[in-house]
Amino acid sequence: MKDLQAVDETRYLTADNCQRYRRIMRCFFRETEKLRFQLYQEDIVLLVKEYPGFEIYTPEQAQQDLAALVQWKNLIPTQDPKRVKTIKDYKSKKFRYSMSENAVEIERMTVKLETLFMESGTLSANLSVRIYEILAEAENMEHCDLGDVNEWWRNLQADFKRLNQNYQDYLREFYSGQQEKVLKSVAFMIRKDLFITYLNDFVRELQLNAAKIESLLKHIAPFMEKSILELVVKSELNIPRPAAEKEDFLERSIRENIMGQWQTLCHWFISTPETISESERILEITNEIIRQIIQNAALIVQLQNWGVSRKDDYQKFIELFLHCQDMKEAAKLSAHVFGIQRIKHFKVNALRSTDCITESTYDEEAMRFLVRPRTRHYQPHADRTGFLAKTEDKAAQRSIYLRRIEQERQTVEKYIRKGRLDVAKMEGCIPASLRQTLLRWISAVNITGINHVGEAKNGRTEYGKAYQLIKETGVCVLHCEDGDLTMPCYVFVFEE
């Protein structure tokens, strides 16, 4: 086929009314199997109405559906002049419908797809034996007539096709998603020995027969390609076919088909330096399946044993370790119970009790090291500890703070005269705490904006007393215990 174009005959499988189209085609296929090749429209309506859901199927619907199937080349209409009784019937064109060859194959394929899950392949070595026996008769075919040659070739291809198809169908079940669950189930353990025996028998027979067939093919290959295959081509051309006008194309197509089948048969049993034969590939796949079955069975047994309590065994082992006389006896018991241990070597920067290289680890004093995992996101576990109740300390600190505040208040009141505290008129050396208090009050008032000369702003001390801050012209020097502070002249006016 030179051009891979769309297949019109498969449109009825996915059309909008595919249920009606498929039902009509299935009726045609069933009748064709009964050698009833041509049906009228009335026959189609009666056959379709027999199925549930199509009880109201009308002739008008049948006419539309048949016209669509004729357009898609699924049905071939043939006008029947014998049933014409009037001019009206002649104009209405009474047709008999029959399935086209492509439609028959497509419908046969749909039937096979519907029953595919019911079919299961088999691994039988009898087919390989039959193939060997048929190939052994190849040298005698040169003196037979074309009919016998054609039957010999068809039997060979039929057995080879069955062998190839059966092993594919059977092994495909082991690689399906559902079969994976079955192989790993506990119920499969009961039948695992049967499967292993079945696969082992097939592997043994295939190894023996494949080697014999490979040797025979290498022996008869030149004779087959020169003589027998040409007789097979002539036997196929000797069969009368309707498409006689395409003899050149037919001969070329038959020759290519037969040569391709022969090459496929040879490649199935004979390996090349580039690729292995299909028979060897089957042996590898079968051995892999056997290995998986055994491995899954071992894992299932191991999973079942995990649920068994070994408390009594552990207690017995502990008692045996307690009764060991020395470290050497304990080491022997450990090797018997736990088997060969994986030894890890750690190199640390620590002082040993001795520098002797022949000294055993058990003879030295035990050392303790903190081993942390080498992971990027590791964080050490924080130890959960309690906290101390500091109620008395908090009460003592609160008392100290209140006393300090009271002392500052008393110090400030010494400089207040008639409700006014003039910073410029403060005499003597004042404490640093008083300076900090004055600056804190000034900052609290000026935080909302600049205090201009003569402007009064309101504030409140931490003692709860309201005041007004007035900035006067000039600057003053405030003498403090830790130095002198030059600042603008401020006046605090306290309210009663």
Read off the pLDDT of residues 95-143 as tens digits, 9 standing for 90 and up.
888 888 888 888 888 887 776 544 445 566 677 888 888 888 888 887 7
pLDDT in tens, 344-367: 777 777 777 777 777 777 778 888
Domain endpoint, select from 98, 114, 130: 114
Domain count, the chain: 4
Question: Do 275 and 423 have their domain in common?
Answer: no
User: pLDDT at residue 466 above 80?
Assistant: yes
User: pLDDT at residue 331 above 50?
Assistant: yes
Tokens 């410029």 map to which residue? Answer: 424
* Banded model confidence at residue 441, pLDDT cuts 50, 70, 90: confident
Question: Do 83 and 168 have their domain in common?
Answer: no
pLDDT in tens, 275-292: 888 888 877 877 777 777
Q: Mapping DSSP to helix (H, G, I), strand (E, B) and coil, where does residue 210 land? A: helix
In this predicted structure, what is the pLDDT of residue 117?
47
Give the C-alpha separation, 325 to 191, whole Å.
50
Question: Do 259 and 324 have their domain in common?
Answer: no
* Domain-embedded: residue 309: no
pLDDT in tens, 288-308: 777 777 777 776 666 666 655
* Domain-embedded: residue 378: no
Residue 40 lies in domain? 8-114
* Domain-embedded: residue 384: no
* Domain-embedded: residue 232: yes
Residue 254 gets which letter from DSSP? H
User: pLDDT at residue 145 above 60?
Assistant: yes
Supply the DSSP string of 408-473, one letter for each residue.
Answer: HHHHHHHT-BTTEEEGGG--SPBPHHHHHHHHHHHHHHHTTS---BT-EEEEE-TTS-EEEEEEEE
Supply the DSSP string of 170-188, one letter for each residue.
Answer: HHHGGGSHHHHHHHTSSGG
Is 279 in contact with 269 (CB distance < 8 Å)? Answer: yes
Question: Do 194 and 284 have their domain in common?
Answer: yes
* Domain-embedded: residue 383: no
Question: Do 43 and 78 have their domain in common?
Answer: yes
User: pLDDT at residue 1 above 60?
Assistant: no
pLDDT in tens, 156-208: 888 888 877 777 766 666 655 555 555 556 556 666 666 677 777 777 777 78
* Domain-embedded: residue 1: no
Q: How far is CA 25 from CA 68, 102, 108, 220, 275, in A?
A: 12, 12, 10, 47, 44
Give the C-alpha separation, 492 to 343, whole Å.
84
- The amino acid occupying position 281 is R
Q: From the CB of residue 233, how many other CB atoms can be counted at a distance below 10 Å?
A: 18
Which residues, listed in sequence order, are joined to residue 40 by a DSSP beta bridge? 96
User: pLDDT at residue 238 above 60?
Assistant: yes
Q: Give the mean pLDDT of 234-255.
A: 71
